[in-house]
Structure 1
């Protein structure tokens, strides 16, 4: 058993008694109440999911295993010559809550290198698809096609103890996560680079190998490490995370479950937001004459946007009430690597002006930028100018968090999700009103 798996198993044995005690001895303790607005409004804000992987704090943003983004980046071992952590070390951290040593991190790097070869039939299936198919559909299909590799499905069919379900789920999660960068890069080069795939380089870590397979020189390796970590997890209630866990709760394997999460991520209210923001930034630049505007010109443009009934894309968040730390992390990267890029300069100027305009406008509960406000600008700068592919990058990162979550769900024996529904008549009766008339 590899060291990460041993550490994880020790953590599982520590957590199982806590779950049993809470369920058996304190199961009737009330932790929330549900309003009609929440029932109709997508269960927003209802506290009914459990995860230790990440928590979204309204003031501090996402915390990974209790650490802020800044603390996470500072604590984890860095790739040689890089300011950013190994994705493999972050995987160790999300699974165990324990900051790995460099030796432990490099052991996971080596383990992923052994796991990363993608079956040839997956690439053959992708080549058989129409070239104009959306890359997210291709990614989802590739993951489902690869389901035949599921260790959990095989071992479950052979018969195994429920207490051991986590073990093959861990193996499937590691195998899938190790292979996803190669699948994503293959889709990119198949669709947009004339089907000129670049083989994986056996000595590279996950982030550097992805940049290599994309055909983009450093520091795009750091972009990959940063981007995948920042997009890895955001509590469990967002569509991609919740869908993955919901499907897995039926004892579906990691391939079926993550493919379902990819499908949810593809929606315009979720993973497509970053490309929509980039389109808006580029359109704004065009409308302002193709050059960086003055602050007065930009302020007028923002007011015209709001007064026409439109929103400022990338600003506002359902939970956060301050600038998204993921935005700040990307801003720091841009200040170092592309400070003179016109689109980044416009992003920076919008950041100075938009919050004040939104506060004066008075309709935004949170006038601060979220992660989508500039992530597309970074990809565009490094040559990834195909908007549709941005959500695939999001999906590779999101896999880290959701696969860690479903491994723990199996370890702690969480049951199938089955919330109860009510009718409109029942809601009207609870509200003391009569419907239909």
Structure 2
């Protein structure tokens, strides 16, 4: 049995000494020796402790529920929801630093501060968050020439996620880790430093990559906005989409308030989608490919290909189509009777209600609640948007219908119920593009884990597989 004091020590996270202006890499440099010692102690003293049982149903059912991965940054509980280094979304909204440029007090925390939290386990100071934000802006001011040229020559009709995966994979040419490893002048204890640099460079490049893909789709490659080194990561995503009021090429012609709200929506969305445990396809794929010592660009481009799958990252666009279609078929988004009848007709036809249910959660997704609160805090902005009104009304009616139907383990809304339709409201109407924004956010969790995988010297992932005959033998 593992004693409680040993467990506490095993997951101890020491506070970095020194000034709050110390950069993220230096803070990690101070944390890693103790964490490596803790992991070795766990393996040495408790390596034979069993964690649950694996069933045949789990083996042939996608390994659902198998507790068999180490994941540093987040945990997911069926009833408590997602926690980031033990902190709920509400905790993060209260504790993590916001942009000092937030003028109306409704802003969300900076995703850069979430990245710091994931990496270190500590809430950063405002100085540390802004230091990291400035570092990302400095590293992300422009794409490598070869990546920029490649992206400019991709067909405009190519799937946005294919474009993103290609762009990320091409950046492997500049990988610090791959270059040092190929030369053979890097020790295992140094792996993490070069993986860290690649990871930060990758995250920093995402606003430019995202803007490039969007301009390919909607403007024939013509730039829609400008990158600003004096602004944060989320702002630059919005700016390069042409969705800030300062951009002369702005297609939506947002006023100042709408522009600020859209930036805050981006901060909210990218801040709460950074990670969702390690077992989801994009996170697990990044971890798996990285375990072979593939560099972060190759690893995360593989994760992006998983995120593009309809069962993982494309749900938000399905919800948008669903809401638009329903609004055509009913007289009013406030008509509870018509909505309920519409939902029952869907279920009787063996169709699902998009945006409802979750593989793990058994309550309303806290990420959905955060997105819903964003809309409720701006009643004037959304008062005339039938789709947002219907989204809110559905969150009251659909769970009651699904409970009565009785065939859904989780009848509550997930984050996709709200996220896509809010982007759609502000003018991002290219539905396949939603997942690119998701891909920007999700980079932070799996890449944080990749840094720690190398820091802790974790091995290549290689589970044992069973054929049908072997499974049958277990049943005798």
Q: TM-score range by the shorter chain?
A: over 0.9
Q: What secondary structure sits across from 1:33 in the alignment?
A: coil
Structure 1 residue runs of 4 or more that deviate by more than 6 Å after TM superposition = none
Q: Secondary structure at the match of 1:38?
A: helix
Matched, 1:133 2:174: no
Counterpart selection for 2:333 from 288, 292, 311? 292
Alpha-carbon shift at residue 124 of structure 1 (Å): 1.2
Distance in structure 2 (CA, Å) of the matches to 1:424 and 1:252? 32
Q: Quote how far apart the aligned CAs of 1:120 are.
A: 2.5
Partner SS, residue 165 of structure 1: helix
Counterparts of 1:348 and 1:130, CA distance in 2: 37
Aligned with 1:95 (options 99, 119, 140): 119
1:301 corresponds, among 317, 342, 356, to 342
Structure with more contact order per residue of length (Cα contacts < 8 Å, sep ≥ 6): 1
Total equivalences in the alignment: 431
Q: Tell me the distance in 1 between the aligned counterparts of 2:373 and 2:34.
A: 38
Q: Deviations over 1:123-153 (max 9, x none)?
A: 2101211111101000000011111110001
**Residues in 1 aligned to 2:32 and 2:362: alpha-carbon distance in whole angstroms:** 34
Q: Post-superposition shift, 1:293?
A: 4.7
Q: CA RMSD in A?
A: 1.2
The superposition leaves residues 387-434 of structure 1 with CA deviations (integer Å, 9 ceiling, x where unpaired) of 1101101100000111111111111111000000111111111112xx
Match of 2:35 in 1: 15
Normalising by structure 2, we get a TM-score of 0.89
For residues 357-376 of structure 1, what are the alpha-carbon distances to aligned partners after superposition, in whole Å with 9 as ceiling and x for unaligned? 10000000111010111111
Instruction: Name the structure 1 match of 2:414.
Output: 370
Matched residue SS, 1:55: strand
Q: Would you say 1:399 and 2:455 are equivalent positions?
A: no
Query: Which secondary structure state, in structure 2, belongs to the residue aligned with residue 103 of structure 1?
Result: helix
Cα distance, 1:21 vs structure 2: 1.2
Q: How does 1:313-324 map to 2 (within 5 A)?
A: 313-324=354-365
CA–CA separation in structure 1 for the residues paired with 2:424 and 2:304: 22
Larger deviation, residues 280-289 vs 229-238? 280-289
In structure 1, runs of 5+ residues without a counterpart are 433-437
1:417 is aligned to 461
Superposition pairs for residues 44-83 of structure 1, below 5 Å? 44-80=64-100, 81=102, 83=107
* Structure 1 residue 224: Cα displacement: 1.3
Q: Is the 8 A contact 2:176 2:194 kept in 1?
A: yes
- Taking structure 1 as the reference length, what is the TM-score of the superposition? 0.96
Match of 1:248?
A: 290
Q: Partner of 1:435 in structure 2?
A: none
